[in-house]
């Protein structure tokens, strides 16, 4: 039996290079050694977007297409949509009966997100309780590991606290999931800030080649390099960060040298990295095209995924109900 790993992603927009190089490449690698459950967390998207739900279905589908095109293998991994497995909602309800409200109010992202998204009214029951839904998502599958970045460690700790509280109130049902700390590479957007949908500076996996090239062409560089013959500093240039990700060691060394002596211009430098990026993205574009050309394929995969996920989730829920004597 391979150890189980579970991870989800919210369908809150189109996947970009940051998501791909961070989460998705990690998902792909995990498949070799673990029994993976990957789900689209569409109910979580409601917690901050309950007023604008018109895109959630489309984004969920796009997310799945990107996952599959980027190498998530539905034969090896269980790929599903959260709302297709209603056991998530049932466990969320049952857990919500035992969670003290102060646990949720002290969740660091609760206040932080309310401040970040000040234009939205997030004083809702669903937003406060989203860590309980998250705990239900995880605990239903009793995974050995949950891949997380450092900033998500407090969330996983809350899931463990919820598991402990349930186990001590009734009887041990939930093993405590361990974190699988994941390093995410720094991926900057076209404006030099962290790549993020909310900054509008992304290069998306669904962008066609000309769009990728155009976005790179207009990308900011070392601001001190005003004229072609001005020497530059690659360390302060986000294009050079892309070289570090996509180019060969020789090219990186050459760009590093040539930028500092102005032997290369920014346009040529960007073309070099665009070529490498296009090379890496081409298999994903081909995968996306193949999925789009086969109507019903994505739906078939998630139907099968939901069936496999529900088989596990139902069993856990039976244990939970047994322990709670309901």
Active site residues: 113, 194, 197
Write down the least CB distance from residue 262 to ligand SF4, Å. Answer: 8
Contact string 193-232 vs ligand SF4 (x = CB under 6 A): ----------------------------xx--x------x
Tokens representing residue 137 in the block: 């998502």
Q: Does the protein bind ligand SF4 through residue 264 (CB under 6 A)?
A: yes
Residue 180 or 225: the one with the smaller Cβ distance to ligand SF4 is 225
Q: How many Cα atoms sit within 13 Å of 283 on the Cβ side? A: 7
> What gap in Å lies between CA 73 and CA 322, rounded to an integer?
35
Residue 7 or 190: the one with the smaller Cβ distance to ligand SF4 is 190
Write down the least CB distance from residue 259 to ligand SF4, Å. Answer: 3
Write down the least CB distance from residue 224 to ligand SF4, Å. Answer: 9
Beta bridge partners of 16: 204
Write down the least CB distance from residue 254 to ligand SF4, Å. Answer: 11
DSSP 67-101: HHHTT--TTTSEEEEGGG-THHHHHHHHHHTT--H
Q: Which is nearest to 99 in space by CA: 66, 56, 128, 69?
A: 128
DSSP letter, residue 185: P
φ, ψ for residue 127, nearest 5 deg: -70, -40
Residue 161 or 258: the one with the smaller Cβ distance to ligand SF4 is 258
| Out of 41, 259, 274, 302, the residue judged to bind ligand SF4 by CB under 6 A | 259
- Helices then strands, counting H and E runs in the chain, come out as 15, 5
Q: Does the protein bind ligand SF4 through residue 245 (CB under 6 A)?
A: no
Q: Does the protein bind ligand SF4 through residue 255 (CB under 6 A)?
A: yes
Query: How far lies 205's CA from each of 2, 62, 187, 279, 313, in Å?
Result: 31, 10, 14, 13, 32
Using alpha carbons only, give the angle 321, 324, 325 rounded to the nearest 5 degrees: 80
Q: Does the protein bind ligand SF4 through residue 252 (CB under 6 A)?
A: no
Write down the least CB distance from residue 208 to ligand SF4, Å. Answer: 23
Beta bridge partners of 188: 194
Using alpha carbons only, give the angle 246, 29, 243 rounded to the nearest 5 degrees: 10
Contact string 269-288 vs ligand SF4 (x = CB under 6 A): xx------------------
| Out of 41, 69, 79, 266, the residue judged to bind ligand SF4 by CB under 6 A | 266
Binding residues (CB under 6 A) for ligand SF4: these are 221-222, 225, 232, 234, 237, 239-240, 255, 259, 264, 266, 269-270
């Amino acid at each position: 039996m391979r150890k189980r790993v579970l991870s989800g992603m919210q369908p809150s927009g189109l996947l970009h290079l940051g998501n791909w190089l961070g989460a998705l490449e990690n998902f792909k690698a995990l498949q070799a050694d673990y029994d993976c459950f990957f789900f689209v967390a569409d109910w979580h998207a409601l917690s901050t977007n309950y007023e604008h739900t018109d895109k959630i279905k489309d984004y969920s589908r796009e997310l799945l297409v990107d996952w599959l095109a980027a190498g998530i293998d539905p034969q090896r991994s269980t790929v599903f949509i959260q709302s297709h497995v209603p056991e998530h909602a049932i466990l969320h309800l049952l857990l919500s009966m035992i969670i003290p409200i102060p646990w949720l109010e002290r969740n660091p992202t609760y206040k932080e997100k309310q401040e970040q998204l000040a234009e939205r009214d997030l004083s809702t029951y669903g937003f406060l309780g989203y860590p309980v839904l998250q705990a239900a998502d995880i605990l239903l599958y009793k995974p050995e590991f949950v891949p997380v970045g450092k900033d998500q460690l407090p969330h996983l700790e809350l899931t463990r606290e919820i598991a402990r509280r349930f186990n001590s109130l009734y009887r041990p049902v939930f093993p405590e999931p361990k974190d699988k700390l994941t390093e995410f590479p720094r991926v900057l957007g076209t404006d030099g800030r962290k790549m993020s949908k909310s900054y509008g500076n992304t290069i998306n996996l669904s962008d066609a080649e000309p769009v990728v090239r155009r976005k790179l062409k207009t990308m900011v560089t070392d601001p001190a390099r005003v004229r072609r013959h001005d020497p530059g500093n690659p360390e302060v240039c986000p294009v050079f960060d892309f070289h570090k990700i996509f180019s060969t060691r020789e090219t990186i060394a050459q760009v590093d040298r040539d930028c500092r002596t102005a032997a290369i211009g920014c346009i040529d430098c960007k073309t070099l990295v665009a070529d490498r990026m296009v090379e890496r993205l081409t298999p994903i574009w081909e995968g996306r095209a193949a999925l789009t050309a086969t109507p019903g394929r994505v739906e078939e995969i998630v139907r099968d995924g939901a069936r496999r996920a529900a088989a596990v989730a139902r069993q856990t829920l039976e244990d939970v109900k047994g322990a709670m004597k309901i």
